[in-house]
Structure 1
Amino acid sequence: MRVPTLALVLAAGLTAAGCSSPASPASPAAEQTPAAAGRSVQHARGTTTVPAEPRRVVVLEPLELDTAVALGVTPVGAAVASNVTGVPAYLGVGDAVEPVGTVPEPDLEAIAALAPDLILGTESRHSQLYDALEGIAPTVFMATQSDPWQQNVELVGEALGRADRAAELLADHRRHCEQVADEHPGAGTANLVRPRDGGTLSLYGPTSFAGSVLECAGLTLPARDWGGDIQVDISPERVPEAAADHLFVPVQDVEDPAGVPTLVAGNPAAFPAVHLVDTSYWISGVGPLGARRVLDDVDRVLDAP
């Protein structure tokens, strides 16, 4: 992506705002919160004053999108994991959220055209864009998408002025975990593998989003050296290293058995129970709503005879 100059970005934002009628309830200008009513939020790039009640939010990370919707704030724009799939259907927001490029390559002109009053992004992905984004609207950055997801949910809640509700959502998640774990004692071991090109599989660890949810639901991820990362890649000849009582495979179409990797399907001794799950919330949909869906899937799998 060729990043436009800040002048062009600001011009796009001013044009979009100027085209709105001040008398319209949906007008960005009418919804702006006075600076005097703002709040200070500490984040990866320092401290930023944000509106007391942001109303036109743009998010650049799946966790920020999931969390905002869970908190009752539907963003006006979001960077998406894929231009093909767009905003994940599981969020239930329909066409209310405008795609603004992809997560690794947000479209600054599209963001400015939405006249946001708050932008949420990630230092590890969007560091070079921070100054341009801050020129459009107050901008708050998570440090990295690899941080424990619950901590990032708390930051999003603070930025949106809904910290108490974010804490409630996380408490609900813990209770949901305990419920699933209590109903399925001795659930056994589990691994999550994502098919890659050339037969390589990405194996997700306990610090990943889905890995942490599997463990909180009472499943055990087999011990291995994760090297401080949320995942490791294993080559075709090492696929048996992913052996577990339950193997979860995130795919686009859970009804298509072709989604099971050939080396997994041909080794029932290592993989006695293989479950296709929806990648839109097992991998992409990090956040309270995605976690709820993952736990529901785990509960359904463990209930099956």
Structure 2
Amino acid sequence: MKKIVIGVITIGMFLGLAACGSSTTQEESQTAASTAAQSEVSTEDDTPTDIEVTDSNGKVTVPYQPEKVVVFDNSALDTMNVLGVGDRVVGAATSNLPAYLSAFETVESAGGIKEPDLEKINQLQPDLIIISGRQRDYQDELAAIAPTIFLSVDNDDTWTSIESNIQTLAEIFGKEEEAQRQMADLQSQIDTLHASAEESELTALIVMVNEGNLSAFGPGSRYSILYDTFGFIPVDDTLEASTHGESISYEFLLEKNPDLIFVVDRTQAIGGEESQSAFISNEIVQETTAGQNDHIIELDAAVWYLAGSGIESIERMLADVQPAVE
């Protein structure tokens, strides 16, 4: 009888310990789950609501991953689209979009490319506004509506500043990896073109046609990307380095006599009827080495004049000038 009692007590103790172990295991599991949940919440809470970036004016604080953006800078619009955040755009200068950005014609018009509609923008209640140099006069008024950034291109160091602008947009929208992939691809294309352009030793000049008037652009100008990034040799490195270029005559072209002439038709870019063919067929132009060798290359005016530093626009510009070295 005593053996039976001892056996019962032993079994009871064993079951008690097992229950205790089960309870401890359950508590540990619950604790682990709770810790994981808290960690998850903590990770979410660590996502910043604001981020400090550097634009062309200096340091500026903007919302992180803004949901509603008004964009006047077509190059920024282009880059946002490639990075997969084009759906955040709620307003743009829709009447001055290059054809390749025509998908954004359906967003709200935020005014003209040189005159933002402040009342309309205020109604849109954007989280962020992105401008180009054409809206600089309105920057303070726009900043009063929402954080506003200005991304310009340094004409003395074109590609570096373009990369910086792309990285800034990538930081704002949390798209750094995609931006790095896109820029690596562009860098590879640029390196190939640059080597071919240098090897060709062909002199080049980029000319803008505007209602029959001509302007030439050399290094340090708005189109210096042709020289400092794409590698073409400027036929004249003393041209005035201005936004609008240096006014020239047809005789100037014959005097400088470049091997390659690249043409941007501003009139065409802004909806006029002037055709580049009138420039190409000009008798004096045809007398140049470029004219005689059929080396006058018409560039996509809307891309070069209205954009020119976005991810897709750079790719299109590379394709535009590629025939010069083929």
For 1:284, the equivalent position in structure 2 comes to: 306
Contact 1:53 1:160 in 2 (8 A): yes
Counterpart Cα distance in 1 of 2:315 and 2:280: 24
Secondary structure of the 1:41 match is strand
Secondary structure of the 1:136 match is coil
Contact 1:191 1:222 in 2 (8 A): yes
Q: Quick check: which has more Rg, 1 or 2?
A: 2
Answering whether residue 78 of structure 2 is matched by residue 66 of structure 1, we say: yes
Answering whether residue 123 of structure 2 is matched by residue 113 of structure 1, we say: yes
Counterpart Cα distance in 2 of 1:278 and 1:60: 20
Counterpart Cα distance in 1 of 2:180 and 2:138: 30
For 1:79, the equivalent position in structure 2 comes to: 93
Secondary structure of the 1:250 match is strand
Letter in 1 for 2:171: E
Superimposed CA distance per residue, residues 53-86 of structure 1 (whole angstroms, 9 cap, x where no aligned partner): 1222112223222222232222222236xx3xx3
Measured after TM superposition, the shift of residue 260 of structure 1 is 2.8
Structure 1 gap ranges (5+): 1-34
- Following TM superposition, the consecutive aligned residue runs of length 4 or more in structure 1 with deviations greater than 6 angstroms are 253-256
Counterpart Cα distance in 2 of 1:140 and 1:58: 11
Letter in 1 for 2:306: S
Match of 2:67 among 38, 55, 58: 55
Q: 1:102 to 1:181 in 2, by over 3 A?
A: same
For 1:162, the equivalent position in structure 2 comes to: 175
Measured after TM superposition, the shift of residue 264 of structure 1 is 4.8
For 2:34, the equivalent position in structure 1 comes to: none
Letter in 1 for 2:237: R
Secondary structure of the 2:149 match is strand
Match of 2:280 among 260, 282, 301: 260
CA RMSD of aligned residues (A): 3.3
Contact 1:133 1:139 in 2 (8 A): yes
Counting only pairs closer than 5 Å after superposition, residues 40-189 of structure 1 correspond to structure 2 as 40-74=52-86, 75-79=89-93, 83=95, 86-91=96-101, 93=103, 95-122=105-132, 124-142=133-151, 148=158, 149-150=161-162, 151-182=164-195, 185-186=199-200, 188-189=202-203
Q: 1:104 to 1:68 in 2, by over 3 A?
A: same
Q: 1:254 to 1:211 in 2, by over 3 A?
A: farther
Letter in 2 for 1:262: N
For 2:5, the equivalent position in structure 1 comes to: none
Q: 1:257 to 1:228 in 2, by over 3 A?
A: closer
Q: 1:255 to 1:143 in 2, by over 3 A?
A: closer
Letter in 2 for 1:196: N
Structure 2 gap ranges (5+): 1-46
Counting only pairs closer than 5 Å after superposition, residues 149-298 of structure 1 correspond to structure 2 as 149-150=161-162, 151-182=164-195, 185-186=199-200, 188-197=202-211, 199-208=212-221, 210-213=223-226, 215-229=228-242, 231-241=245-255, 243-251=257-265, 252=268, 257-260=277-280, 262=282, 264-269=284-289, 271-272=291-292, 273-287=295-309, 288-298=311-321
Contact 1:213 1:291 in 2 (8 A): no
Measured after TM superposition, the shift of residue 182 of structure 1 is 4.7
More helix by share: 2
Measured after TM superposition, the shift of residue 233 of structure 1 is 2.1
Measured after TM superposition, the shift of residue 283 of structure 1 is 2.2
Letter in 2 for 1:249: V
Measured after TM superposition, the shift of residue 244 of structure 1 is 1.5
Contact 1:195 1:261 in 2 (8 A): no
Counterpart Cα distance in 2 of 1:155 and 1:282: 22
TM-score, structure 1 normalization: 0.72
Counterpart Cα distance in 2 of 1:269 and 1:144: 32
Secondary structure of the 1:166 match is helix
Superimposed CA distance per residue, residues 26-47 of structure 1 (whole angstroms, 9 cap, x where no aligned partner): xxxxxxxxx9622122334554
- Single out whichever of 249-258 and 184-193 deviates more from structure 2: 249-258
State the number of aligned residues: 263
Identity of aligned residues (%): 30
Contact 1:57 1:119 in 2 (8 A): yes
Counterpart Cα distance in 2 of 1:143 and 1:269: 35
